[in-house]
Structure 1
Amino acid sequence: MNLHQLRFVREAVRQNFNLTEAAKALFTSQPGVSKAIIELEEELGVDIFTRHGKRIRGLTEPGRAVLKSVETIMQEVDGLKRIGNEFAAHDSGSFTIATTHTQARYSLPKVVQAFSQKFPKVRLSLLQGNPKQVADMVLMDQADLAIATESIADVDGLISLPCYQWEHLVVVPPDHPLLKSKSVTLEEIAAYPLITYDNAFTGRNKIDHAFQLRGLKPDILLEAIDADVIKTYVELNLGVGIIAGMAFDAERDKNLCAIPVGHLFGTNVSRLALKQGAYLRGYVFTFIELLAPTLNRKLVEQVLSGKKDVYEL
């Protein structure tokens, strides 16, 4: 048994049981991958994969148990490599963040700028997706951490910590009737076509839930993952926009007015998520502290070690 065999098993699963794609991902040959897997199965005395002819189709029951052990072993191996890399170079390396568009566009620029000034030799990458996708990126070791709203809080295999709180805003043109209301209600908002986030993004579930509790069925004219898109169509007077508070800038958005609606849709929490048992380089802890000054290395290490309830906003 060797690490190459374990890598081949893990990559075969990640590539949806396509050995050709697994071989490409690992820069080797497909016959070599197939042979190594067969040799591992013979050594273990069980079939890891179900097959149809020469093609693998899925995991057997013992194969699922084998995969779980393989993931644990490879995570430890990756951790050893990271330890070596960190001690060899404290201020250089790579760092990948998986996040949503809203976080990347509005919350992270100043943090990334400050981080890059501290660690100019670190190659920083941003991967974007919906909350489920960014969580999967961390689980699959494609990213070091994920940043999104509360929906990444309870993902198996991840631990998460709160970064900051925010509320939604209603955005309208300067002459809109809603601006005359002393305290905007859900009924008043629902009287207009709405432009807001796609179901998977930026607290949309809280928006829907608030209307449902009042028995209201708003006319959702347009859904988007990008607050800039929402604001563009509001400027065209096509409807009332509901966006994250961080996405509005009075100087930049001079053609719009914002109405705070936290009293209607509640408070949201943006969180960062890390893989359980992950080994983080020193500069990742610095990034976390820049993102959420209330967090520090000691606290994050406590959470990674299994103390999940040491901190909440």
Structure 2
Amino acid sequence: MNIQQMRCVMAILDHNLNITEAADHLNITSAGLGKQLKSLEIELGMAIFVRHGKRLIGLTEDGGNIIESIERLLVEAEGIRSFAQQARHPKFGKLRIAITADMSVESLRSSISEFARLSPHTEIDIAVIPTDAIDRAIVRAACHFALSGSSMRTSPAVAAFPLYSGPLVAVVRGDHPLADGKAAGAADLAGYPLVAGCSAAIRRRLEDALTSAGVAAAFRLQTTDAEMIERQLRSTEAVAIVGAAAVPPAWRHRLVVLPIALHDLAPFEMWLSVGRAAALPDQALAFLDILAPHLAARRLAACLRDGVDQRPEAPVGWPQDISTP
């Protein structure tokens, strides 16, 4: 059994059981992938996939049971590889961060700047991914950790920790009837078309809060594309609802950001997701120390080692640079 064989299994799953696409992803031939899979199944003494002729149509019961172990082993292997790379080149490396679109790179701006100052030789690679892809990105070692607006952990190989909690805000153009600086209430929001600049889960929170207040929401669009949202705001009397941390700095000069006055509206949160078996490199721990000093990244490593997940402490408010105006 080897790492390449396990990667072949996960690539097949990632590409909906399509051998050709999985092989292309791994830069090997379809025949080569099939040979790796067959060799692994012979060694294990069991079939991992159900076959119909030459096609794979699903996981066998045994195959489903070993996927979790394969995921965990791949995370551990990536941790060993990262450790070895850091040992060889302690001042160099790449920090891979995944964020969901409702987080916005802007929410990390000051942390990135400080990290770049302290670790000038470390390259930072930030990828924006769907919320439901967090587990897969971590398990496949596509990132060292992920930051999202909600905890969507489904894999036992991934642990999630709350970092910060902050409000949702309303954004309008400068000549909008609501652009008086006052908090937008339920009646205010119900009077205009809404743009949900957040995840579907956060949009549902807003809909529930408005329903509790006795009004119905009229959502025109849901997108986390900042340019698309701004075009909607400038061309209509729409009101955008976004997390305070997702407000681009330029909007504070071109648009008006308002607090929202809804008692039952749950806050917007930042969650950290990491692999349970992953040995986070020093660069990742250093960045987390800057982003969330209250978390204590070294303690985080201990939590992972001891199997602790989703710490019960309430997350603290947003740092000053990503708070509401």
Quickly name the TM-score band, shorter chain normalised. 0.7 to 0.9
Change (3 A) 1:254 1:45: closer
> C-alpha displacement at 1:286, in angstroms?
0.7
> C-alpha displacement at 1:70, in angstroms?
2.5
What is the SS of the residue equivalent to 1:294?
coil
Q: Gapped runs of 5+ residues in structure 2?
A: 316-325
Aligned to 1:115: 115
Of 7-16 and 173-182, more deviation after overlay is shown by: 173-182
What is the SS of the residue equivalent to 1:76?
helix
Query: What do residues 105-125 of structure 1 show as CA deviations (whole Å, max 9, x unaligned)?
Result: 321222222222322332321
Query: Residue type of the partner of 2:216?
Result: K
Change (3 A) 1:239 1:61: same
What is the SS of the residue equivalent to 1:97?
strand
Query: Residue type of the partner of 1:9?
Result: V
Change (3 A) 1:39 1:134: closer
Query: Residue type of the partner of 1:256?
Result: L
1:259 is aligned to 2:258: yes
> C-alpha displacement at 1:140, in angstroms?
2.7
Q: Is the 8 A contact 1:303 1:310 kept in 2?
A: no
Aligned to 2:244: 245
Q: Is the 8 A contact 2:172 2:237 kept in 1?
A: no
Query: Residue type of the partner of 2:252?
Result: D
Aligned to 1:54: 54
Give the TM-score, by structure 1 length. Answer: 0.87
- Rounded to whole Å, the distance in 2 between the matches of 1:198 and 1:251 is 18
1:1-313 → structure 2 map (5 Å cutoff): 1-152=1-152, 156-179=156-179, 184-197=184-197, 199-200=199-200, 203-248=202-247, 252-261=251-260, 263-264=262-263, 265-305=265-305, 306-308=307-309, 309=311, 311-313=313-315
Aligned to 2:319: none
Q: Is the 8 A contact 1:227 1:243 kept in 2?
A: no
What is the SS of the residue equivalent to 1:238?
coil
Q: Give the total of aligned pairs.
A: 312
> C-alpha displacement at 1:18, in angstroms?
2.4
- Percent of pairs with identical residues: 26
- Rounded to whole Å, the distance in 1 between the matches of 2:207 and 2:152 is 19
Q: Is the 8 A contact 1:168 1:262 kept in 2?
A: no
What is the SS of the residue equivalent to 1:103?
coil
- Rounded to whole Å, the distance in 1 between the matches of 2:244 and 2:133 is 23
Q: Gapped runs of 5+ residues in structure 1?
A: none
- Rounded to whole Å, the distance in 1 between the matches of 2:4 and 2:244 is 48
Q: Is the 8 A contact 2:71 2:139 kept in 1?
A: no
- Rounded to whole Å, the distance in 1 between the matches of 2:228 and 2:286 is 33
- Rounded to whole Å, the distance in 1 between the matches of 2:240 and 2:3 is 53
Query: Residue type of the partner of 1:111?
Result: S
> C-alpha displacement at 1:198, in angstroms?
5.2
Q: Is the 8 A contact 1:91 1:283 kept in 2?
A: no
Of 209-218 and 36-45, more deviation after overlay is shown by: 36-45
- Rounded to whole Å, the distance in 1 between the matches of 2:69 and 2:153 is 25
Change (3 A) 1:63 1:102: closer
Runs of 4+ in 1 over 6 A off after TM superposition: none
What is the SS of the residue equivalent to 1:46?
coil
Query: What do residues 281-304 of structure 1 show as CA deviations (whole Å, max 9, x unaligned)?
Result: 001001111211222222211221
Of 171-180 and 253-262, more deviation after overlay is shown by: 171-180
Q: Is the 8 A contact 2:170 2:257 kept in 1?
A: yes
C-alpha root-mean-square deviation of aligned residues, in Å? 2.7
- Rounded to whole Å, the distance in 2 between the matches of 1:250 and 1:47 is 54
What is the SS of the residue equivalent to 1:178?
coil
- Rounded to whole Å, the distance in 2 between the matches of 1:220 and 1:59 is 40
What is the SS of the residue equivalent to 2:125?
strand
> C-alpha displacement at 1:179, in angstroms?
5.0
- Rounded to whole Å, the distance in 1 between the matches of 2:17 and 2:136 is 18
Give the TM-score, by structure 2 length. Answer: 0.84
